[in-house]
Structure 1
């Protein structure tokens, strides 16, 4: 029996599907020995420590998957160990063992970043459940980091392909704006890549590790629409801001992309203005706290570019005074057609496992002569369709079924 009233037997702990590493520092030597023996029999790689400083040194060199800490480990207090591990930025999941009389201890431990606190008394399965949940949570965190890294790679400036003068001007603007916090409006025809440019700017700014929210203003129709779409942002923001003050101060903020703001219903434009408080701080809800949100907007332009004056967004533009970035249409980027076609082909080659897939010079000539009313979005669609049409490694003119040619 441990001091927590558990009879630790092999049946209490379910076998681990994969080898995971666990570090243990408990109050009593007998507890450390028993827990270590049980976990090792279940396939875990376990290391027990008799001193907090030795544990911290080991974590700094090679963080384990899970750390079990008793309420009064030798050498260093449990809360100090927890705090110092978090300062090491180790990704270990920490479980603390405590007695039921220490409710305040449990609260402080969770505030410091403990994954779980196991209080006495508990059924024998409680330790197993805590370890399994910790490992699953760590797996989800790693997957989230992987996905965020993929998003960052997609938002890399290198994904804005092209060397034409118009694209070079866009890139110059984006690099300057990545060091700034001012609002930005992206103007361009449908399919030119306004959202791609907005994401690239976000993921190359100091906000890269924080959320990028997109709201398609063209589909909002009810006055309560903003309350509905802002609700997830508010929930996420409140969760992030419940951290310790020191962590909250390091949180750089979020980016909100208001897509196709020019197609927003006039009545809703006034509703949106209500969310802008003093000093143009963004609020979720009329009485909500100001949030650190950088605002991006996009306007779809056509043959005639509507002036903001007299337009429902005119007052909003005057309030935000955003920097304007013009995304050129593809017909003004003739020299980029080959670059873009090969850029899209590189992705298709990876997806379809066809490393020899390429496009002929004659097909490129046809693509370069086309006017591209659908811009980059249309070019990407044409290349993808042609890759499916062509059974040969080379995409030729006959494979460009949706492009008129002579």
Structure 2
């Protein structure tokens, strides 16, 4: 969906300049020459962003800002003026403006401010959508499964959700750790506040501090304005730190202080920022081993692991496979506009026989693919992937080697086993490296390193 922006300025040349520039970037743009006109437009339509001059006759920019924020506290407003003063800037920020820009401004600067403001708007909309639409979806009753291991998970969710304690969720990739985290949040007293997800393995280490704790204008090259971090945005709510084991050591120190003291400093900032945030972390790694090896701080581990919750892999709750398969069948039949209603007995037997190294996520992918390809009203074996209909060698078989009497080279043998497992993971995931890494229970970075080490990386990766 195209973002919509309202430009409010009594200077025609400025309105036209901003309108042309923003339309070239693909935004929907409306303009108003005075405050009254802007408020009338805002009564009729919601905008993702308002860019408003401060000094205007009759209804000035501050009045527009005040009324916009009264009507919608989450609205994003950027103020611009040719007559800057510290007092007006402070007043605008106190009233809730996203940022304050002085004319004349650099085009790149205002483009960046606008992009960041719209990103904030999208984030706010997403949290509103979660609060309004996903309360039911993420209640524990809608986590699919009736096996004893899952009943234990439900009971623990019910017990821990009302508390303030931090939680560490462990489990293999694809088991549904984020779904469990959301269930805890939406069953807690914080359910009306933000739920913010941070994938610690996907954000470069040099950007992680700014992402988590924000930065001040001028803190580093490209920091054109103040940016709130995700911890500040999540105040009174929950931060979900996925793949916490991938967090770089320097950031582990700063995270420890934020959790322990509930304060932090933005990058380039001098003042402490106080927040009330519940932290739920998740990992598919053995963090205790990482602590023993000096890869993860012990004090941070104990701060995160106040309550531990393990999500079982799908192979440990195979009785849930029919329930999950039917759940995904109903979901994707509706989403894809198909009339597939059931799963044949032969297909169900094949689904039950598989061990799902990718867990629930892999089962979901299999059912979505089958629904998309199926032409009848039932999923038949013919629409399942080849590896389900004709199972390849198991990982144990792949790893099986003979031990010749004259001995062998352990390094060469282990490399051969590793190469075969990497190749099999890529085959199963259609060459999608991130998914292959998850199948093997290693990070994407580690997977790429191993491919390069064994000469399996593509030319562009090298």
TM-score past 0.5 threshold: yes
Report the equivalent of 1:327: 311
Pick one of 182, 197, 205 that aligns with 2:165: 182
Mapped to 2, the partners of 1:24 and 1:69 lie a distance apart of 9
Mapped to 2, the partners of 1:308 and 1:199 lie a distance apart of 26
* Correspondence 1:189-268 to 2 at 5 A: 189-202=172-185, 205=188, 206=190, 208-209=193-194, 211-216=196-201, 226-235=205-214, 239-240=227-228, 251-252=235-236, 255-259=239-243, 261=245
Mapped to 1, the partners of 2:238 and 2:353 lie a distance apart of 42
Report the equivalent of 1:392: 376
3-state SS in 2 of match to 1:342: helix
How far the C-alpha of 1:317 sits from its partner, in A, is 3.0
Normalised by the length of structure 1, the TM-score is: 0.61
Would you say 1:280 and 2:263 are equivalent positions?
no
Quickly say closer, same or farther: Cα 1:346–1:20, change in 2 above 3 A. Answer: farther
RMSD: 5.4
Normalised by the length of structure 2, the TM-score is: 0.55
Pick one of 92, 95, 98 that aligns with 1:112: 95
Quickly say closer, same or farther: Cα 1:251–1:21, change in 2 above 3 A. Answer: farther
In structure 2, stretches of 5+ residues that fail to align are 1-8, 105-109, 217-225, 392-462
Report the equivalent of 1:349: 333
Task: Tell which structure's C-alpha radius of gyration is larger.
Answer: 1
Mapped to 2, the partners of 1:353 and 1:369 lie a distance apart of 29
3-state SS in 2 of match to 1:295: strand
* Correspondence 1:1-400 to 2 at 5 A: 24-25=34-35, 46=37, 79=62, 82-83=65-66, 85-89=68-72, 100=83, 104-105=87-88, 108-114=91-97, 143-148=122-127, 156-157=138-139, 160-202=143-185, 205=188, 206=190, 208-209=193-194, 211-216=196-201, 226-235=205-214, 239-240=227-228, 251-252=235-236, 255-259=239-243, 261=245, 272-273=252-253, 275-277=255-257, 280-281=260-261, 283=264, 289=272, 292=275, 293-300=277-284, 310=292, 312=294, 313=296, 314-356=298-340, 358-388=342-372, 390-400=374-384
Query: Structure with the greater relative contact order (CA < 8 A, sep ≥ 6): 1 or 2?
Result: 1
In structure 1, stretches of 5+ residues that fail to align are 27-45, 48-54, 123-129, 242-247
CA deviation digits over 1:78-111, x for unaligned, max 9? Answer: 7466435423326777687977486743552354
Mapped to 1, the partners of 2:372 and 2:75 lie a distance apart of 46
**Counterpart contact for 1:60–1:90, Cα < 8 Å:** no
3-state SS in 2 of match to 1:355: coil
Report the equivalent of 2:412: none
Quickly say closer, same or farther: Cα 1:359–1:21, change in 2 above 3 A. Answer: farther
CA deviation digits over 1:262-302, x for unaligned, max 9? Answer: xx69xx65872464239723657799746645433334379
Report the equivalent of 1:52: none
Query: Aligned residues, how many?
Result: 349
3-state SS in 2 of match to 1:213: strand
